[in-house]
Amino acid sequence: MKKIFLIFSILALLLSINYFGMNIVESINLPLWPKHTEITDPSIIIAFILYVLLMTMPFMPGIEIGLALMFVLGKEGIFLVYLATLFSLALSYCIGRFIPIVWVLIFFKFFKLKKAYTLIFELDKLEPKERISFLLKNLHDIFLPKILKYRYILLGVLFNTPGNSLNGGAGGIGIAAGMSGLFNIYYYGLLIIIAVSPIPLLLWFGFINI
């Protein structure tokens, strides 16, 4: 019962964080006059800062601010929001790389998840290139080889999944990718450049109207 209570408490906390983020998004009152709004307008600058912060943090929705900025600034806004999104996802990945693995171990130990604790403990001893071989050798799962082989594609799909703020959001996914050590920083950079581009390109060429 104690474990169940703690799990539901964590879920409630995550939902509260998500709800809080939504309230922040809804409370931002951007001026809706694209032809008369300059990029140097204080409200636009604040909105960009909030957008980067929300996109970097786990379980925080930020795309709504991005769409509003695109609407306000037109094509210039599309390009700037695209760059801000790339920066946010790169930042979340870097944060994940520097998060102490001991925090994850404490979490698993607290909930007495022995197998997960042992797996993370063993992975932490290995170099990133050795972790994939270790997983394939020690985890007997028919789907694992394909998941690991196409992990970059899977990550790109997760970034573009609607409602992904409930399973960590783009920021949470980026942090998890960084923590895992399974994603090369250069390939990750190329991945986010491609994965984030479809919607901005469709907006830029007028296939989608905001």
Q: Which letter, b or e, does each residue of 173-182 get, where b requires 16 or more Cβ atoms within 10 Å of its Cβ? A: bbbbbbbbbb
Give the pLDDT of residue 10: 63
Specify the pLDDT at position 38: 61
- 81: Cβ–Cβ under 8 A, 6 or more apart, which residues? 51, 66, 69, 70, 200
126 secondary structure, DSSP code: S
In angstroms, the CA 25 to CA 69 distance is 12
Express each pLDDT in 3-40 by its tens digit.
666 666 666 666 666 666 556 555 555 554 444 456 66
User: Could you say which residues of the chain have pLDDT below 50?
Assistant: 32-36
- Residue 36's pLDDT is 46
- pLDDT at position 21: 58
Tokens of 85: 């999104």
**pLDDT for the residue 46:** 79
User: According to the model, what pLDDT value does residue 32 have?
Assistant: 46
Closest CA to 165 of 56, 60, 93: 60
Q: Can you give 142-186 as a three-state secondary structure string?
A: CCHHHHHHCHHHHHHHHHCCCCHHHHCHHHHHHHHHHHHCCCCHH
What is the pLDDT, as a whole number, of residue 15? 65
How far is the C-alpha of 96 from the C-alpha of 195, rounded, in Å? 19
**pTM metric for this prediction:** 0.78
Structurally, how many domains does the chain consist of? 1
Phi, psi torsion values for 185, nearest 5 degrees: -60, -35
pLDDT recorded at residue 49: 85
For 26, the domain range is 1-210
Tokens 């929300």 sit on residue: 54
Query: What is the model's pLDDT at position 9?
Result: 67
Task: List Cβ neighbours of 193 (8 Å cut-off, separation of 6 or more).
Answer: 86
